[in-house]
A and B are shown apart, each in its own frame.
Chain A
Amino acid sequence: AQRVTQPEKLLSVFKGAPVELKCNYSYSGSPELFWYVQYSRQRLQLLLRHISRESIKGFTADLNKGETSFHLKKPFAQEEDSAMYYCALSGRDQGGKLIFGQGTELSVKP
C-alpha cells in the first residue's frame, strides 16, 4: 500500500529550539518525497523535494530508504515557521499524483 504517515498532529516548540517533523512512507517502487507548507490562510507551497537536497528557509530533509523516512529538520525554529506541514509522496508510475500525510501543525512560541 502507498501511504505517508506523519505521527504528530501538533508540534509546539519555543523560538530557537530545534525542530523535527517526522514523516514515514510506504511505497514499493522508487518514490519522490516532498514537504509542502501551508501558512495561515495561504495556499500549499512546495518547501523541499528530496532529489534537490537543498535547504530552504533553514529546513532540510534527508531521504532514508532503510527507515523509509523523510523527516524535516531545522536547527533553530523561528516564529514565522508556524504553519501546517505536509509530507507527500509521488512515484514515477503514479501519473504525478501526490499522496499526502495527515499534516503536522508546527507552533513556534516566542
Chain B
Amino acid sequence: AQTVTQSQPEMSVQEAETVTLSCTYDTSESDYYLFWYKQPPSRQMILVIRQEAYKQQNATENRFSVNFQKAAKSFSLKISDSQLGDAAMYFCAVTGGTSYGKLTFGQGTILTVHP
C-alpha cells in the first residue's frame, strides 16, 4: 500500500517570492515515481514536475524544483518567483511497482498568491 501526506492544507506567498510545499510518502516499492500536480479552479490536473526515485538529482522545471529526500521519504516542491497564475490546489502523488499509473494522491495544499 502507498500513502501520501500533505501536512499544509493552505499556504500563501507574495508575488515574486519563494514558497515550499511539503509532502511525505510511504511505499513498499523499490522503484517508483513521485509527482506534483496543479489543479486550478478549472479542475484540470496539470503535471508540474516528476521525480524518478532511482535518480539522486532533484528534478527541476523552470521555476519549479523539488527537494527529494529518499531516506526520509520526503518530496517537497519549491516554487520560485511566484506568479499569480501559480494559485491553485497542489497535489503530491506516488506510483510504482506493477501498477504504474495507479497514483496515490495526498489531500492537497491550496496555494494563494498575493499581488
Q: Judge: A and B partners, yes or no.
A: no
Partner-A contacts on B (CB < 8 A): none
Partner-B contacts on A (CB < 8 A): none
